[in-house]
Amino acid sequence: MRRRQWRRGGIGLGLVCLILAPLHLAAAEPAKVEKLDARALAARIDSHIDAKWKANKVKPTLPADDAEFLRRVYLDLIGRIPRVSEIHAFVDDKDAHKREKKVEELLNSAGYSTHFSNFWRGVMVPPSTDQFAFNFAPQMEQWLNRRLKDNMPYDQMVREVLAAPLGVRNQRPQPGQQRVAIDPSVLAFFQANENKPETIASASSRIFMGIRLECAQCHDHPFNQYTRQQFWEFAAFFGGIKTTGPMPQFQQPQDDPRVREIKMPSTDKTVKAKFLDGSEPKWDEDNDKVNARQTLAAWLTTANNPYFARAAANRLFAYFLGIGIVDPVDEPSDDNPPSHPELLNELAAQFALNGFDLKYLIKAITLSKTYQLSSLQTDSTQTDPRLFGRVSVKGMSPEQLYDSIVLATGYRDPNFQNRRFQNRAFNQGAEFEFRTRFSNFSDKRTEYQTSILQALSMMNGAFMTEVTSPTKSFTLGSVVDAPFMSTEDKLNALYLAALGRPLRSEEKVRLIKYVESGGPAKDEGKALSDVFWALLNSSEFMFNH
């Protein structure tokens, strides 16, 4: 891909534990760490990355130009490509701080909360094509959207998920008390894990601490220090959750808050709830209202648990850079150490010091020179993605791809007002069909592979046929019918709409001739449609780079 040319305070004990070996939740002496703002943390990111470049003799690529940066930050922050008007305004802006201002603008837009509610729902409740996803995932996205709009701290958001009120079993309300209302929005997390204590425990440790415990469910963990007993002691925090019937994942779970133990399968042993560091909670035995899940959530989300901040910081770094500092993000071990341990420690410590503010951490990452490098490889030393000598090319999520096609083509979705939280969940409309076909749930975005069905859908599916039709595509129709535009101007308009850049000189010579000849059909409108179709099917459009 060639370069684009344009014409126009004090720290808590737990944070210090972040410098310890990855698999030990031990204590250390308190130390003073300066609280940094986002700009300062961005500079620290670059300092750590630069030190690794020097140690490995990496020659980083060139900085991304304005068009490349703008497209990337729009896709990453609000889940779509920029409009042509937004491209012109940004590229023409001479303000030296325009990139920081654009990040702030996008973080404060409705698109941020909408896009990241989909991202965090995908983390907490992985996508699925079964009936569960249709019924519950949209409600959780709405719940997350409200929290992200308010910029709720990440620790508080996670506590609300883990300690969500469930139906209370074996316990009647006291006189004058009402039963606790169940919030169906966060039930998705429990029902995605079949309302089973062991499955919920595995998901909680993996998602919120970056620790994969499930290998210790039936035997001691083969790759780290966790034992089978430790697994079930952790699962005991969810031991009060029960359902009845053959399909528990489709039923509302009930919880007995007094249950703080669980029986280990295939044994006569019952174990009590313990944290992963081996410590036992101090229960108030006279207060049955103290829910075991609330106790776990409070411990898990505190700064005294170093893994909580590390896991979130690593996950966001992986989202924006394509590769985690620990990668895969939920498999830290002695055999999978962080590529930049000091950087991960500092990101986690500052995330906690800044109140687990997601926007703060996102701003720091996107303002870094590392994030703002080009994806173009200019030197052989840039081949290792874990050294971040260039930005990794990432496949778009189904939502990013669909929303970008809609914007580029001017497609008018008849279900637009409700599609994000309703049509996106149910079996109706072009979006549902598109999202289902492009949902490669297990694929890493940096190793994205297009299936035959996806390729056929992009080449000749009903949706793509409609949005690239001169009579049905608003963008294409406007360009074809523009009476005072030259062929070059028309091609530039299509390139800006689809790729966010103008026509290059070598493309100009070939395509102007093709369009003016009318292509195989000897029709200029159809020839422009061919070009637009080719742009939307190109890797330059379908990937975030």
Helix (H) or strand (E) holding 536: helix 524-536
What is the residue-level pLDDT of the chain in tens, covering all 545 positions? Answer: 444 444 333 344 334 334 333 444 444 444 578 999 999 999 999 999 999 999 999 999 999 999 999 999 999 999 999 999 999 999 999 999 999 999 999 999 999 999 999 999 989 987 654 455 456 778 888 999 999 999 999 999 999 999 888 765 544 544 444 444 556 677 888 888 888 899 999 999 999 999 887 665 555 555 567 788 888 889 999 988 887 655 555 566 777 777 888 888 888 889 899 998 888 888 766 555 568 898 999 999 998 888 999 999 999 999 999 999 998 887 777 778 999 999 999 999 999 999 999 999 999 999 999 999 999 999 999 999 999 999 999 989 888 999 999 999 998 766 554 444 444 444 456 777 777 777 664 456 666 666 667 766 778 778 888 888 888 889 999 999 888 899 999 999 999 999 999 999 999 989 999 999 999 999 999 999 999 999 999 999 999 99
End-to-end CA distance of the chain: 10
Q: Looking at the structure, tell me whether residues 269 and 388 fall in a common domain.
A: no
What pTM was estimated for this model as a whole? 0.88
Dig out the tokens for 426 from the structure: 């149910």
User: Domain limits at 388?
Assistant: 13-60+309-392
pLDDT for 454 equals 72
Q: Does any domain span residue 7?
A: no
Q: Does any domain span residue 282?
A: yes
Q: Does any domain span residue 247?
A: yes
Domain boundary among 370, 392, 414: 392
Alpha helices in 438-519 (DSSP H): 452-460, 462-467, 474-480, 487-499, 505-517
- Write a three-state SS string for 197-233: HHHHHHHHHHHHHCCCCHHHCCCCCCCCCCCHHHHHH
Q: Does any domain span residue 91?
A: no
Q: Looking at the structure, tell me whether residues 414 and 348 fall in a common domain.
A: no
Q: Looking at the structure, tell me whether residues 277 and 247 fall in a common domain.
A: yes
Beta bridge partners of 242: 254
Q: What count of other Cβ atoms lies within 10 Å of the Cβ of residue 134?
A: 15
pLDDT for 280 equals 87
Q: Under a CB-based contact definition with an 8 Å cutoff, are residues 148 and 113 in contact?
A: yes
pLDDT for 433 equals 72
37 CB contacts (<8 Å, ≥6 apart)?
none
Number of domains present in the structure of the chain: 3
Q: What is the DSSP letter of 19?
A: G
Q: Looking at the structure, tell me whether residues 239 and 369 fall in a common domain.
A: no
Q: Under a CB-based contact definition with an 8 Å cutoff, are residues 473 and 533 in contact?
A: no
Q: Any idea of the CA torsion for 370, 375, 379, 385, to the nearest 10 degrees?
A: 70
Q: Looking at the structure, tell me whether residues 355 and 263 fall in a common domain.
A: no
CA atoms within 13 A on the CB side of 93: 17
Q: Looking at the structure, tell me whether residues 289 and 421 fall in a common domain.
A: no
Q: Looking at the structure, tell me whether residues 388 and 400 fall in a common domain.
A: no
CA 21, 25, 29, 31 torsion-angle sign:
positive
Q: Looking at the structure, tell me whether residues 439 and 524 fall in a common domain.
A: yes
Q: Looking at the structure, tell me whether residues 287 and 156 fall in a common domain.
A: yes
Q: Does any domain span residue 112?
A: no
Taking the C-alpha atoms of residue 134 and residue 424, their distance in angstroms, rounded to an integer, is 8
Domain boundary among 277, 300, 323: 300
Return the beta strands (E) in 78-212 as ranges: 167-168
pLDDT for 300 equals 95
Q: Under a CB-based contact definition with an 8 Å cutoff, are residues 420 and 402 in contact?
A: no
Q: Looking at the structure, tell me whether residues 288 and 317 fall in a common domain.
A: no
Q: Looking at the structure, tell me whether residues 414 and 510 fall in a common domain.
A: yes
Q: Looking at the structure, tell me whether residues 161 and 292 fall in a common domain.
A: yes
Q: Does any domain span residue 454?
A: yes
Q: What is the DSSP letter of 444?
A: -
Return the beta strands (E) in 103-237 as ranges: 167-168
Taking the C-alpha atoms of residue 528 and residue 518, their distance in angstroms, rounded to an integer, is 8
Q: Does any domain span residue 213?
A: yes
Domain boundary among 282, 300, 318: 300
